[in-house]
Structure 1
Amino acid sequence: MQQYFVEGSLSVDRLYTVTDKRIIHHIAKVMRMQPDDQIELVDATQQPFLAVIQKIDISGTEIQVRPINGLNRQTELPAKPILLCGLPKREKSEWIVQKGTELGADKIYFFASERAVSRWDEKKAIKKLQRLQTIALSAAEQSHRNTIPEIKFLQNLKDLKFEVQATKLIAYEESAKSSETKALVLALQAHQPKTPTYCVFGPEGGISSNEVAYLVSQGFTPIGLGPRILRTETAPLYFLSALSFYFELKG
């Protein structure tokens, strides 16, 4: 069933008029839906609803829907993962955002790492972030998320403002090379409910020793993600999968 994020708040049996051109086009032209077809809508309060299409305006300017049931579902990772990724090359940022959203990232931040080959100036960053936020929206709808991850760009790691009580980690290849295996598990065991989990990932050239030293001084813990060295676009997805297993599947 198709899901869409809408503005405002919804209520059961109260008609809602969809005016978002993107949603109207997808419902009427792509999916070719008709009145009485059902869709899922998530409102601005992050509450999902099952809704029935009542009317599709022939001018293509609006669609009327009627929410018929509030959905009680939990599709958000309880660890509230925030990915901090050294700026990767070309399309890898899009891959991280799309798959990271599907796997439950709460926020995804890219930063201008010392060893990053790619560079974003202010103008380029604005255009890139618009594109990445659109990808996050589409992926959140596809994976039936209750929220859309926030995508940001930091010119420097020191621009990051984080909660003191959060779990703070660095995916560090030197930890993997030294066969470190327990730091991630210990960190998750100590994780406080309802607090975010930050994890920093280096770009293709890896995170620098200076960046690691700064992060450690701010309370971050280096961790290994298994014995293999992962690519910059693979490591965040491994991390999210590990969180899902630990908090949602292992029982």
Structure 2
Amino acid sequence: MQRYFVTPAQFAEDRVEITGDDARHITKVMRGRLGDKFILSDGVSREALFKIDDMDGHRVLAVLLEPLEMNHEPRLQVTIAQSLPKGDKMETVIQKCTEIGAVSFVPFLSERTIVQYDAKKEVKRLERWRKIAKEAAEQAHRNRIPAVDQPMSWKNLLAAFDGYDAVYFCYEKESGAQLRDKLKPFVEAVLQADDSKASLLLVVGPEGGFTEQECRAAEQAGAVSVALGRRILRCETAGMTALACALYESGEMGGV
């Protein structure tokens, strides 16, 4: 069933007015009719089944039929910190990792980042990234839209490590620790209680990977350097692989 997100303020009543792109999608793309049903979520604490009560080409009025449980979000709250890749690869990372279950994204600049950062252009790019996250969350029946932060410096990213229960630095030259080996004890220790949640940051490099100096700096800031197997993954693949592994180990995909 089709799903849309509205603001908590819109969800304050049992009747909701939908406008903008979502209204056009309902009326033009989905060819909605009076009585058609869909799910609305405020992305915070409320979700319900609605039906179309009135509409025109610019707005849709819907009435609440029944509240629904918000049970599609993972207990392990994984954030993907992705060094800005070339072209539209960041869009792929956001779309696919949203579908898998990432809760937020932190784009950043590292030593081998090829993209030339332009603050003016980044405003439009950030709008597009957030739109992609919203659409992917709707498609995947997420209860919340993952946050997409403004790109930050490597220094600021290191300073943010303290805000997470664990930080794993995905490093292709790591010859010892495998991500899975580090995940298992972390998941067992933090997610034992039925209602507990844990935050995990996965740090992924650009096309050229990280330098040894960046690896040492990350470890000094509290990260654990991990490998993702014996094959070298593209930068847009590494985050998806690490995320899927983390959610599997936490039981989201039939793991523990």
- Structure 2 residue matching 1:80: 3-state secondary structure: strand
Indicate the residue corresponding to 1:5 in structure 2: 5
Cα distance in 1 for partners of 2:220, 2:176 equals 23
TM-score normalised by L of structure 2: 0.89
Give the conservation status (yes or no) of the 8 Å contact 1:111–1:157.
yes
How many pairs does the alignment contain?
A: 245
User: What displacement does 1:163 show?
Assistant: 4.1
Indicate the residue corresponding to 2:255 in structure 1: 250
Indicate the residue corresponding to 1:17 in structure 2: 17
User: What displacement does 1:63 show?
Assistant: 1.3
2:154 aligned partner, one-letter code: L
User: What displacement does 1:45 show?
Assistant: 2.8
**How many percent identity over aligned positions?**
33
- Structure 2 residue matching 1:69: 3-state secondary structure: strand
Residue correspondence of structure 1 range 203-218 to structure 2 within 5 A? 203-218=206-221
Query: Is 224-233 or 87-96 further displaced after alignment?
Result: 224-233
Give the conservation status (yes or no) of the 8 Å contact 1:4–1:40.
yes
CA deviation string 1:83-107 (max 9, x = no partner): 1111111011110010011111111
Cα distance in 1 for partners of 2:172, 2:238 equals 10
Cα RMSD (Å): 1.8
Closer/same/farther in 2, CA of residues 133 and 70 from structure 1, 3 Å limit: same
Match of 2:77 among 77, 80, 100: 80
Indicate the residue corresponding to 1:36 in structure 2: 35
- Structure 1 residue matching 2:4: 3-state secondary structure: strand
User: What displacement does 1:120 show?
Assistant: 1.6
Give the conservation status (yes or no) of the 8 Å contact 1:11–1:67.
no
2:26 aligned partner, one-letter code: I
Closer/same/farther in 2, CA of residues 230 and 186 from structure 1, 3 Å limit: farther
Give the conservation status (yes or no) of the 8 Å contact 1:140–1:148.
yes
Give the conservation status (yes or no) of the 8 Å contact 1:107–1:150.
yes
Match of 1:202 among 201, 205, 221: 205
Cα distance in 2 for partners of 1:165, 1:92 equals 25
2:6 aligned partner, one-letter code: V
Closer/same/farther in 2, CA of residues 141 and 165 from structure 1, 3 Å limit: closer
Cα distance in 2 for partners of 1:117, 1:190 equals 38
Residue correspondence of structure 1 range 81-160 to structure 2 within 5 A? 81-160=78-157
CA deviation string 1:17-75 (max 9, x = no partner): 22x21111000111101011100100153422111111113xx2321111111111421
User: What displacement does 1:11 show?
Assistant: 6.4
Indicate the residue corresponding to 1:225 in structure 2: 228
Indicate the residue corresponding to 2:182 in structure 1: 183
Closer/same/farther in 2, CA of residues 15 and 155 from structure 1, 3 Å limit: closer
Query: Is 62-71 or 158-167 further displaced after alignment?
Result: 158-167
Cα distance in 2 for partners of 1:71, 1:162 equals 35
Give the conservation status (yes or no) of the 8 Å contact 1:85–1:202.
yes
